[in-house]
Amino acid sequence: MSDDSLDDLTLDELRLALAPAIADEAIFDGWSDTALVSAATRKGVDPDVARLAFDGGAIQMVESWIDAIDAAMIVELPREKLAEMKIRERIRALVQFRLDQALGREEALRRGLAIMALPQNVARSLKTGWRSADLMWRLAGDTATDYNHYTKRTILAGIYSATLAVFVEDTSEDKADARAFLDRRIEGVMKFEKAKAKWLGGDREHFDLMRFLGRLRYPAK
């Protein structure tokens, strides 16, 4: 079915619009030219224009799907909506939203993860993962500018990637195992943050490494 709304899009906009449809086709044909042409035809887009938009090949298709999920997440879970939740609930809602976008597309996700793991794509994949983790934290209301800015995003990127690995293999009803795995990972991070806050105290901006090491050597009585 032709989608006239796609006719006047820029190539960047077209990538976002086509990426979910390509993911649907990638379930059967992988992230291939066949999937690209099928998605373009279904959306009423000239296949040659679609090829021009995705001249970066499979990795660009996968990245565009991730970008499309990022864009949808901004719309569905704005800061104002998340502000009513506790921080762990915000992070859980954001990660779960992303997982929900892959429901029924597990094979496309599995193939996409394999493409991202190729040696020539690792650097791009890390950058993409960092960008999504940064977006999730910003939507969750994080304003940290010190070292916490980096540790939070690194930890969340790790949680998300580990949960994806469980998600693609999860055959339990309603992905219960993946949901439980995500909850355990978030709970573990919350405990870590509480322990870190106890060690660092209120003055996180001026953390004294020597004082910290001294505490390890001579624990408070």
Please write the tens of the pLDDT for every residue from 159-208: 999 999 999 999 999 999 999 999 999 998 877 666 666 666 655 544 45
Say whether both 46 and 61 belong to one domain. Answer: no
Tens-digit pLDDT profile for residues 11-49: 999 999 999 999 999 999 999 999 999 999 999 999 999
One domain, residues 168 and 93:
yes
User: With helix as H, strand as E and coil as C, how does the chain read?
Assistant: CCCHHHCCCCHHHHHHHHHHHHHHHHHHHCCCHHHHHHHHHHHCCCHHHHHHHCCCCHHHHHHHHHHHHHHHHHHHCCHHHHCCCCHHHHHHHHHHHHHHCCCCCHHHHHHHHHHHCCHHHHHHHHHHHHHHHHHHHHHCCCCCCCHHHHHHHHHHHHHHHHHHHHHHHCCCHHHHHHHHHHHHHHHHHHHHHHHHHHHHCCCHHHCCHHHHHHHHHCCCC
Q: Are residues 111 and 47 in the same domain?
A: no
If one counts the domains in the chain, the total is 2
For residue 167, give its domain range: 57-217
pTM for this entry: 0.84
